[in-house]
Amino acid sequence: MASVSSAAPAATSRLIPSASGTKLSLSSSPRSSPFRLAPPSLKCLRSSPLVSHLFLPKERRSTYVAKSGFSTVSAPTCFASNHEQLKSAKEDIKELLRTTFCHPIMIRLGWHDAGTFDKNKTEWPRRGGANGSLRFDIELKHGANAGLVNALKLLQPIKDKYFGVTYADLFQLASATAIEEAGGPKIPMKYGRVDVSGPDECPEEGRLPDAGPPSPADHLRDVFYRMGLNDKEIVVLSGAHTLGRSRPERSGWGKPETKYTKDGPGAPGGQSWTVQWLKFDNSYFKDIKERKDEDLLVLPTDAVLFEDPSLKVYAEKYAEDQDAFFKDYAEAHAKLSNLGAKFDPPEGFSLD
């Protein structure tokens, strides 16, 4: 998938301070986060008999009725992410979006963390997917992830503030929130994703789609079918390109700037797929179908949506019916965000 832009500068060598004043470090030392700023998870409290349940958040205490009929307090339950911290993190992400216009790159971050999933591999985390592995330098350097270090820099202060939230959940929360805040549908998300613990658990390079393969339809199917997705989901998820810009210095595609991008908002430049590239609607399908504006980007993997007979059925539908696009997109985005994830609790939980 082609690179989309953020409000963060394109240069990635400059480190920005975290919320605590500590500079980010892109170290890839084994078994640690590359940023190494977050305190240990509350999960460690689960095995400590010395910690009173009174010091745990109320949602961490559960009761059950024993066979004797008496109500008994069970051992505290610690999940991968804290529900209340996730809710607060979402509000901080909304403010980040309002001030930096980083909607596109947050969507791309969530997509690229989840999009490495291989349905033919059963072992976690080797199967890839939404597991937070994209925070490690080795995966950040994959060609398809050019520029995503900027998304991590924007999110790291929020991660520092809410240490009870996993990277895997934070990436998907930011992605879904960006869709909703840009005017898109509400995504039926669930949370509780477990993080991988080290760079040795990152997937190999080459699992994400290219923008200009020799046979675009075959390539898209190879990538999306490997993830367990179908033709309908190929088309509807491609519709997320209604947001964002492609930058030639990152993806090799697009113009350095157009009349729609030269003044930003955010860092100026790049070429967008749509005129209003911070508004989530069905303009992507309309503009690709018409192809009348040379300042709008059409990649080979975009054009093929109206060329391949099976894909064209859905592309035509979404160009005509925005409600249908929103409905199908919300379902597909939620499915994508769960690919390969290991949840704690196993069934996940909702923020609603």
Q: Which residues are catalytic?
A: 112
Tell me the two tokens of residue 328.
């199908």
Distance in Å from the first CA to the final CA of the chain: 31
Beta bridge partner(s), residue 23: 17
**Is the distance from CB of 231 to CB of 310 less than 8 angstroms?**
yes
**Is the distance from CB of 251 to CB of 146 less than 8 angstroms?**
yes
**Is the distance from CB of 281 to CB of 182 less than 8 angstroms?**
no
**Is the distance from CB of 59 to CB of 171 less than 8 angstroms?**
no
Tell me the two tokens of residue 84.
């209340």
What length does the chain have?
352
**Is the distance from CB of 187 to CB of 330 less than 8 angstroms?**
yes
Give the Cβ contact number of residue 350 at 10 Å.
10
Contacts with 163 (C-beta within 8 Å, 6 or more apart), sequence order: 38, 39, 40, 41, 85
Nearest to residue 270, comparing CAs of 182, 180, 184, 147?
147
Residue 266 CA to residue 91 CA, distance in Å, equals 20
Residue 278 CA to residue 286 CA, distance in Å, equals 16
